[in-house]
Amino acid sequence: MEADPLSQSPAPHRAPARLRSLVSIALALLAGGVLRVWMLMKFFEVNGDSQIYGGLAKNLLLHGQFASSGGDGVLHSTLIRLPGYPLFLAACFRLFGMERYGAAVWAQIILDLAGCLLLALCVRRISAPRFQSAAAHSTLWLAALCPFTAIYAAEPLTESLTLFMLSLALWSAARFQDRPGWGAALAFTFAVMYAALLRPDGALVGVVLVPAVVWGVLRSNRSPGQHSRMALICALLALAPFAMWTARNWHVFHVFQPLAPRYATDPGEETDLGWQRWVKTWSLDFVSTFDIYWNVPDGLLDLGKLPSRAFDSPAQRAETAAIVADYEANGEQLTPAVDARFAQLAEERIAAHPLRYYVELPLGRMADMWLRPRVENLPIDLDWWVYAHHNAETRFGWFYAALNAFYLLLAIVGLCLRPRLWPSMLAYMLLRSVLLCTIEAPEARYTLECFPMLFALGGVALGRVGQGRLVYWPIRHASR
């Protein structure tokens, strides 16, 4: 039984304290809801990946196939996306009407706020007893008012649903450690399973939290037979969707693909490995992703927008210009010949500067994804830092950078306090950072999945500072 922080307080004091706490929770959720609804009204869009996911959802409902529609209307089976988010959209389309993306976003907003509560409940469990209430309140406010995650709740993309699953996984892992049972075990199984069905990297949360859950089982008083049955059933439930997905991909494409391809291509499509490798020899920040990487193929490769680090010598610049000219002459397509020339150029650059390719640039891309102002969904120019061009946008960009740094610093302080589950949360962020070092085109949203951990650790830090000024945490009973 968890200790009641007010068990020694006079009874007349408990009701006012609980009322103040309920008011605090209601205000946090109301403020978070207003923020998300405002972002929905201001920044809602359906394009790019949203249309891809929506098309897959429509074809599931209308034709019973996980397929994309070509320009001729013919269905083409695909495996470029995992089925998690299309299934969510399909459920929303079935309930609220075909292509009602707005209704899906409203569902995401509700789930996002529920995730904020789950994180608070998790922190209530993992914090030191003296600071549980304060830490839980702090976590709720940090999560509810974070604009970086709130804006993705207002977009029909996988990020918001992934954040909810991570929050559910953290809460259920903490609850299972305290009281092993089927409810927490099944909630945890669903969270890690669906996180991996949304995005391939979602499997990381299972990798880091399963050892903590197993430790909770070993500490419990249940018999070995109960442990074994629970573990077996949960493992089968978690693996069953991936077994069906793998079997489907083998049946349709004759390939072994339990998740999604590295470059989101169907079997037989070109992966342009030479181009990808050349990009990794100079790509460092989101500007290059937006100006160059997203345009190729089928778009302009502007030599003037390549950074100076893309060329080691005038001769190399001339060779790059010749390859770009061939690319344009072939209708802006990465033909095998053009891709081979990019591959050769990449090998020359890697041989000349291996430390830059294997260490400096990967670490630089990772730093860009962690520290860049998270304004990618806002109408702000890429060169936000050029004050003379747009002083208001520059000031806003620095504010967002400072806010991002604030969350990171709070989390570092929280790690130093070593709450329960801190090794798992740290391992998740480190593993994800290592994984991000392997990508060619950095985007700040790729580190967004670490924010549930930042909220929890930051709440622990603020709870230590604010203990004594925050009031009784009434949803403690709901966390049991």
Whether a cis peptide bond, with omega within 30° of 0, leads into 297 is yes
Higher pLDDT among residues 382 and 222, named by residue: 382
At residue 264, the pLDDT reads 87
Q: What is the DSSP letter of 77?
A: E
456 pLDDT band, cuts 50/70/90, is very high
At residue 469, the pLDDT reads 47
Q: Is there a contact between 137 and 27 (Cβ–Cβ < 8 Å)? A: no
Please, what sign has the CA dihedral across residues 61, 63, 66, 72? negative
Chain Cα centroid distance, residue 364: 20
Give the span between the Cα atoms of 394 and 380, in whole angstroms: 9
At residue 128, the pLDDT reads 86
Average pLDDT over residues 230-257: 93
Model pLDDT for residues 32-67, shown as the tens digit of each residue? 999 999 999 999 999 889 999 999 999 999 999 999
- Residue 193's nearest CA partner among 174, 171, 210 is 210
For 252, how many CA atoms within 13 A lie in the half-sphere containing its CB?
A: 17
Average pLDDT over residues 190-203: 95
387 pLDDT band, cuts 50/70/90, is confident
| Residue labelled with tokens 């399973």 | 193
Is the pLDDT at 71 greater than 90? The verdict is no
Q: What is the DSSP letter of 377?
A: T
Phi, psi of 353 (to 5 degrees): -140, 70
Q: What is the DSSP letter of 76?
A: E
Least confident window among 23-27, 114-118, 170-174: 23-27
357 pLDDT band, cuts 50/70/90, is very high
Average pLDDT over residues 128-147: 92
* Helices 314-329 and 336-352, axial angle in degrees (round to 10): 160
Contacts made by residues 11-20, CB under 8 angstroms, sequence distance 24+: 14/472, 17/471, 17/472, 18/471, 18/472, 18/474, 20/471, 20/472
466 pLDDT band, cuts 50/70/90, is low
Q: What is the mean pLDDT of the chain?
A: 89
Model pLDDT for residues 253-272, shown as the tens digit of each residue? 999 999 989 888 899 888 89
The percent of residues in the chain predicted with pLDDT above 70, rounded, is: 91
Tokens of 110: 């509700």
Please, what sign has the CA dihedral across residues 321, 327, 332, 336? negative
Residue 263's SS3 state is coil
Is the pLDDT at 449 greater than 90? The verdict is yes
At residue 474, the pLDDT reads 43
Paired residues of 77 in beta bridges: 67
Give the span between the Cα atoms of 59 and 73, in whole angstroms: 11
User: Max alpha carbon distance in the chain (Å)?
Assistant: 83
Residues 6+ apart with CB under 8 A from 289: 283, 441, 442, 443
Average pLDDT over residues 135-151: 96
CA angle 382, 383, 386 (to 5 degrees): 155
Task: Kindly report the pTM of this predicted structure.
Answer: 0.91
Higher pLDDT among residues 224 and 454, named by residue: 454
Paired residues of 68 in beta bridges: 76
19 pLDDT band, cuts 50/70/90, is confident
Is the pLDDT at 218 greater than 80? The verdict is no
Is the pLDDT at 9 greater than 90? The verdict is no
At residue 478, the pLDDT reads 42
| Residue labelled with tokens 């998270």 | 374
Q: Is there a contact between 119 and 455 (Cβ–Cβ < 8 Å)? A: yes
Give the span between the Cα atoms of 399 and 14, in whole angstroms: 40
Average pLDDT over residues 246-257: 94
Model pLDDT for residues 167-192, shown as the tens digit of each residue? 999 999 999 988 888 899 999 999 99
220 pLDDT band, cuts 50/70/90, is low
88 pLDDT band, cuts 50/70/90, is very high
Give the span between the Cα atoms of 348 and 145, in whole angstroms: 48
Tokens of 234: 């949960």
Residues 6+ apart with CB under 8 A from 160: 108, 111, 112, 149, 152, 153
Classify burial at 424, counting beta carbons within 10 Å of its beta carbon; exposed 0-12, middle 13-18, buried 19 or more: buried
Residue 70's SS3 state is coil
The percent of residues in the chain predicted with pLDDT above 90, rounded, is: 73
At residue 62, the pLDDT reads 92
Average pLDDT over residues 348-353: 96
Least confident window among 144-158, 202-216, 309-323, 422-436: 202-216
At residue 228, the pLDDT reads 79
Phi, psi of 244 (to 5 degrees): -65, -40
- Residue 30's nearest CA partner among 160, 140, 104 is 140
At residue 240, the pLDDT reads 95
Please, what sign has the CA dihedral across residues 6, 12, 14, 20? negative
Give the span between the Cα atoms of 309 and 281, in whole angstroms: 9
Residues 6+ apart with CB under 8 A from 113: 29, 32, 33, 36, 144
User: What DSSP letter does each residue of 412-469 carry, written as one string?
Assistant: HHHHHH--TTHHHHHHHHHHHHHHHTT-SS--GGGGGGGHHHHHHHHHHHHHHHHTTT
At residue 222, the pLDDT reads 60
At residue 6, the pLDDT reads 32
